[in-house]
Amino acid sequence: MTTFLIIEDETQISRYLKRILAAEHIKILHAETLHRGLALAAARPPDLVLLDLGLPDGEGLDFIQQFRTWSDKPIIVLSARHEESVKIMALDRGADDYLTKPFGVGELQARVRVALRRREPNTDRVKRFGEIELDLEAHTVKRAGELVHLTAMEYKLMELLVRHTGKVLTQHFILSSLWGPNAEDSQYLRVYIGHLRKKLEPDPRRPQHFITENGVGYRFVE
């Protein structure tokens, strides 16, 4: 049975979440405080956490940091806080996604499905999206059956995003992963994202796969 842990102190919102996520073979646990959430997560390890940041006894950011010391299960932040700096902190500490309140039922359900799917073991060497076929072992990319030339850095960026399908990767995470911990110039990143869109998107002006999360980073969508 799949277990979801909701950490939310507002009764109306927690009831709403329970109602829209309720399904056969899903068990929902609920905590109203940071410490209760940590205790439940340790005692009955969840498959996915839905987390509010503003809790009566602490910050949801602290939950993320502590939970990540023993679990890699997905965390989706649900918060009324819209500041980009807060989103970046949550994602950098290990959250998989961030939705601002209010949010639509369909969007939340889709984000949950993506988060759970991304954690499933996937040993496929070939990834396909749209007209693109990516062979992770041969390091080749084809579009409609034709080889596409990517520079070494373009390929590394694409592979990093694809291996984290559905997850928002912050600019800081991507820059440090590809250019080292001291990399700070996000202009490099924008240039390479632009190159990938030109080479791999059906319409680079309206990207379907390499999505910008404004002020935060990028997400790859199949």
Same domain, 92 and 167: no
Burial of residue 16 (number of CB atoms within 10 Å: 0-12, 13-18, 19+): middle
Which pLDDT tens digit goes with each residue over 175-184? 888 887 777 7
Tell me what pLDDT residue 96 has. 92
Tell me what pLDDT residue 114 has. 86
Burial of residue 159 (number of CB atoms within 10 Å: 0-12, 13-18, 19+): middle
Same domain, 16 and 92: yes
Examine the pLDDT at 192 and tell me if it is beyond 70.
yes
Examine the pLDDT at 24 and tell me if it is beyond 80.
no
> Count of domains in the chain?
2
Tell me what pLDDT residue 151 has. 93
Which pLDDT tens digit goes with each residue over 120-169? 655 578 888 889 999 888 889 999 999 999 999 999 999 999 988 888 99
Domain residue limits at 143: 126-220
Distance from C-alpha of 145 to C-alpha of 135, rounded to nearest angstrom: 12
Same domain, 111 and 135: no
Among 99, 117, 116, CA closest to 108: 99
What's phi and psi for 184, nearest 5 deg? -135, -20
Same domain, 36 and 77: yes
Same domain, 104 and 148: no
Which of 69, 99, 118 corresponds to the end of one domain? Answer: 118
Same domain, 57 and 152: no
CATH code of the domain in which 91 resides: 3.40.50.2300
102 close to 75: Cβ distance less than 8 angstroms = no
Distance from C-alpha of 7 to C-alpha of 48, rounded to nearest angstrom: 11
Same domain, 113 and 145: no
Examine the pLDDT at 68 and tell me if it is beyond 60.
yes
Same domain, 42 and 93: yes
